[in-house]
Structure 1
């Protein structure tokens, strides 16, 4: 297998927990949350933000289009940082261990322009990547082939030498098709073990 030359992190549910349903369960209760998510494609609306649409304008337009749920939909904007929480501490340590080992570390994430600006002051490690591929700035989202093509063209690393982790199998599958090395993120310990197996971290550094 090709030696890994750069490690690529997804962010949501890899470095930061992203569980909007959990937030709404706590705020309005599971029954109302299920009703709202059944009535409104909030994740689909959020995809528009991840493609570069203005965060406030997009969410507030959805709120006005669904007056029965206006206040709840507006929370997606007004209380977004509560949904994008907390950090996954072990994953953050792995990011920093890779940097300490002089392994280039990239981010490849579906993230809006404004939401990333909100997250950066709260999660300083978001500034610690060698390269950041943020879908909102790129105008495309995973798992579209073009976003992977853009990463390959920009970073100059052989796709076979990229090791990419993501929590969604559809995002992983396209990277697999393009010849990247991949790891389906199901927990930080599994990711740590994969990095050790790839030879980019020692077992001690991956703790």
Structure 2
């Protein structure tokens, strides 16, 4: 079955997402480990990804843990540094697909405000043919409804979608629906897959 469209995750596919790296640089690995063990920063971020207000969620968590308040607010004030840098070859692959007339969709767990911050920094995020961002939809991967929303709104059959994501659980959920999948571990592997599927030439994927 011919692939008609390619679906990209964003974090750790098009841009790096590594909060721990920022905190290690700012407060050291030991204090960072203590902070993350004491405060559910990733749980807070999941609520933001489901559409809750970014500033309100971070501020509320800081107020609930005053001993870590300043450190928690780094998640808000320096968020873009956690979502960086861009992965340049992935962006080139996306643009090469578009140049060959292959639709490209985003399917990403991302907050409403944080996605706008990222889109202002990274022009590639404005180049998708359709966006399925969890914060706007108030549903997230790997739950089935967000995959269903993409299928319904794009009209592309599951077996004609190729989805790349860095998380195995998100890939498994797509595979269970009949999507073609590529577990992203780096842009070189994705380039090879796109060439193998006949979507790009070696020259396109360079």
Same-fold call, TM cutoff 0.5: yes
- Who is 1:181 aligned against? 180
Unaligned stretches of 5+ residues in structure 2? none
2:84 match: secondary structure: strand
1:195 aligns with 2:172: no
Q: Which residue of the partner structure matches residue 107 of structure 1?
A: 106
Cα distance between partner residues in 2 of 1:181 and 1:86: 28
Verify: 1:131 aligned to 2:127, yes or no.
no
Cα displacement string for residues 174-203 of structure 1 (whole angstroms, at most 9, x for unaligned residues): 000000000000010000001011111011
Matched, 1:88 2:105: no
Does residue 1:61 correspond to 2:60, yes or no? yes
Q: 2 CA distance for matches of 1:99 and 1:168?
A: 24
Q: SS at 1:76's partner residue?
A: helix
Runs of 4+ residues over 4 Å off in structure 1: none
TM-score normalised by the chain length of structure 2: 0.99
> Normalised by the size of structure 1, how large is the TM-score?
0.99
Deviation for aligned residue 1:85:
0.3
SS in 2 for 1:106: strand
C-alpha RMSD of matched pairs (Å) = 0.5
Distance between the aligned counterparts of 2:125 and 2:186, measured in 1?
19
C-alpha separation in 2, matches of 1:72 and 1:141: 27
SS where residue 182 of structure 2 aligns?
A: strand
Could you tell me which residue of structure 1 aligns to residue 157 of structure 2?
158
Deviation at 1:44? Answer: 0.9
Deviates more, 1:34-43 or 1:8-17: 34-43
Pairwise mapping of residues 25-64 of structure 1 onto structure 2 (< 5 A)?
25-64=24-63
Unaligned residue ranges in structure 1 (runs of 5+): none
The separation in 2 between residues aligned to 1:162 and 1:189, in whole angstroms, is: 20
